[in-house]
Structure 1
């Protein structure tokens, strides 16, 4: 009877641990909804998304836009632009949404 409870208890511990990790990861990055983005743009806190898309496509001529999103990471607003290059490589570029500074340019897995 005791051995039958062990797998159930182990399962509960795994679920609790998974929830704890998920909760802590949500603190690192948060997608902003369109109303939040429009308000930030109206207030001049962030620059227009089109500017970042143009900048990313300019780095990789012939590439195609796959995804663009604005996230809040550790209190900073970051545009993430994902491209498919002419060489069929997926690249992820991250920009500071307030000053257009390129933060990261890496091949995406």
Structure 2
């Protein structure tokens, strides 16, 4: 293998490791409970109310707690009364809106 190919292989390997470390990680219910008890994140119920209030009458489809770049966020998926699926992302520590888009 030439020096160029070895260097290129090393760069690709480093990029793969780096990029995989940036990916969001979903947390399980035990991790979420521990973070809530430690006061790191707000109660899910409080954040769900905030998300659902954006679209009165909407129905909850899914809610996930994830950690990305050291930040905890709840990703809430709901369907509006018009049948539109929305993805709302809220900062789990502050409740601030990060994203609200049609899914």
**Fold conserved (TM > 0.5)?**
yes
Q: Which residue of 1 aligns with 2:78?
A: 83
**51, 54, 61: which one pairs with 2:49?**
54
Alpha-carbon distance in structure 1 between the residues aligned to 2:18 and 2:28:
19
**76, 92, 98: which one pairs with 1:97?**
92
User: Gapped runs of 5+ residues in structure 2?
Assistant: 1-11
Following superposition, the deviation at residue 27 of structure 1 comes to 3.3
1:36 aligns with 2:31: yes
Query: How many residues are paired up?
Result: 90
Larger radius of gyration between Structure 1 and Structure 2:
1
The root-mean-square deviation of aligned C-alpha atoms, in Å, is 1.9
User: Are the structure 2 counterparts of residues 107 and 44 from structure 1 closer, same or farther at C-alpha, using a change threshold of 3 Å?
Assistant: same
Following superposition, the deviation at residue 56 of structure 1 comes to 1.0
**101, 104, 107: which one pairs with 2:102?**
107
User: Gapped runs of 5+ residues in structure 1?
Assistant: 1-16
User: Are the structure 2 counterparts of residues 72 and 83 from structure 1 closer, same or farther at C-alpha, using a change threshold of 3 Å?
Assistant: same
**43, 60, 64: which one pairs with 2:59?**
64
- Runs (4 or more) in structure 1 with deviation over 4 Å come to 20-23
